[in-house]
Amino acid sequence: MGSSTLTKGVERAPHRSLLKALGLTDREMDRPFIGIATAQSSVVPGHMHLQLVVDAVKKGISLAGGVPFEFGVIGVCDGLAMGHRGMSYSLPSREIVADSVETMALAHDFDALVLVPNCDKIVPGMLMGLCRVDLPAIVVSGGPMLKGWHNDEAIDLTTMFEAVGKVTSGKMNEDELYQLEESACPTCGSCSGMFTANSMNCLTEALGIALPGNGTVPAVASKRLRLATDTGYRAVELAKEGVRPSQILTQEAFLNALAVDMALGCSTNTALHLPAIAYEAGTKITFEDLDRMSRKIPQICYLRPAGQYHMEDLEAAGGISSVMQSLADGNLIKTDLLTVSGTVKDRLKKPLSSEVIRPINNPYKKEGGLAALWGSIAPKGCVVKQGAVAPEMMSHKGLARVFDSEEEAVEAIFGGKINPGDVVVIRYEGPKGGPGMREMLSPTSAVFGMDLDKSVALITDGRFSGATRGAAIGHVSPEAAEGGPIAYIREGDEIIIDIPNRKIDLNISKEELAKRMEEQVKRPERRLKGYLRRYAQKVSSADKGAIFED
């Protein structure tokens, strides 16, 4: 197997002639062939510079005696797709990315792979494809964007979405909005807080499938290019050593990643992506695993959108290696696990800041950044970024304000129709119902921008951007389109949210709920065609990671 399938023997003379058409020499036919999957494009700010990263990877491969082969995958920019039909394609694109990596890797029998993603769904999609092929492989991302500045205050993409609500409510004028617009996203790279892209890139380090620094070295730093060169070099070594992802991406590695997830206060989207990657790796991560780890692991970092720090601050403090050192100090992770460069223990280093990365005995929060809730609204669970919830909203009772789409909810919020104490319910936005499980950054940012974040909760069978903060509870399972209880909530019902005790309930009797669930409900019509139609037919519920089950 491997490149010898293409290069050895009389019967492969036609294959060699095609390789020579690419410019390969006879000398290169005997070297490891390394595939480079890249999501470079001129559409996504996080990917616009990836050709520089790929070129550095190629240099590293050549230095190590390998032959690089570059191929592309698609990539959706969640920020650009937010708030309109484009977001229906974001999560579904993960499966296309995974299929592309699988197809290209096996069709051309590479000896190893280097994955070069950066934003949201592309990282897990590449890892899912990698798990299917189980070739020696390593990840290097494009790195995070630098934070912006406005009036001596650090700003980012979250600032922009929340500013829309401030303009709508009269708390900001359009001239200041324009000044923010000019400054919030100052460089290429994945948006600068602990949003989904950076969460997933950090977790590639925690999983052991990337070199130290992958999650935090800024996109514009020359160190990123050196990291990419080292990654390419290491890919050739992995091919020669025969180290495969199945030896690295074990159940214990995923639990380490969950621990780092909780310590960092990552995006709720990790609760979709880690289970999906684990499924492809032949293991399992559940909401129960997430919640058990949340109760065990304190949140020791406080990055945007919850806190004041950005990715460049985490890098300066020592990055993920230092976060893992703090966890190791408390015996909260396993350090004898294999990575693409030695063991976890080999990569640990002492934090350089006790504020950006706090010690275990002085955390920002006693529990992890995410929590799973269960109850009559979500019998199979749902997820909240509890590290970004105001203390007064950790327990909340309020009247349901029910909407069957994101657009209806945003119109009501901006129209001043949501009152303090309300619980906004947005349904039919799940994996099947959306379809595509759209992110709800627009409504959550509207709530924050209109100063309702400490009095209004939001519940959805959709999901949230990593830039979301507040009492935003997503991934409600089963979703409305599958007949879940969220479909039977009525306007004015009382909803009880109790994050500390992991409960989310509709305050009606079991008998009343059962009676409602026997009734026929009117569902919004979705006229689907093409890929979204096929996606809606095959995708699982959010509690399983919105995967395509066998």
Sequential DSSP letters for 224-276: HHHHHHHHHHHHHHHHHHT--HHHHS-HHHHHHHHHHHHHHT--TTHHHHHHH
**Displacement of CA 308 from its chain's centroid (Å):** 20
Catalytic-role residue among 100, 267, 321, 465: 465
Q: Where are the alpha helices (DSSP H) in 108-221?
A: 122-133, 157-168, 174-183, 196-207
* Catalytic residue list contains 62: no
Give the separation between CA 54 and CA 460, rounded to whole angstroms: 39
CA angle 225, 342, 37 (to 5 degrees): 45
Q: What is the dihedral of CA 197, 203, 207, 208, to 10 degrees?
A: 80
The three state secondary structure string of 475-529 is EEECCHHHCCHHHHCCCCCEEEEECCCCEEEECCCHHHHHHHHCCCCCCCCCCCC
- In the structure encoding, which two tokens stand for residue 413, read together? 């919020």
Signed CA dihedral, 179, 182, 184, 186: sign only: negative
Using only C-alpha atoms, the chain has a radius of gyration, in whole angstroms, of 23
- In the structure encoding, which two tokens stand for residue 423, read together? 């619980």
460: helix, coil or strand? strand
516: left (phi over 0), alpha (psi -120 to 50) or beta: alpha
Signed CA dihedral, 113, 285, 289, 119: sign only: positive
Give the separation between CA 224 and CA 378, rounded to whole angstroms: 42
- In the structure encoding, which two tokens stand for residue 133, read together? 């092929």
Q: How far is CA 324 from CA 202, 225, 261, 300, in A?
A: 11, 24, 11, 11
Q: Where are the alpha helices (DSSP H) in 242-364?
A: 245-248, 251-264, 270-280, 287-296, 311-316, 319-329, 344-347
CA angle 124, 126, 129 (to 5 degrees): 110
Catalytic residues: 465
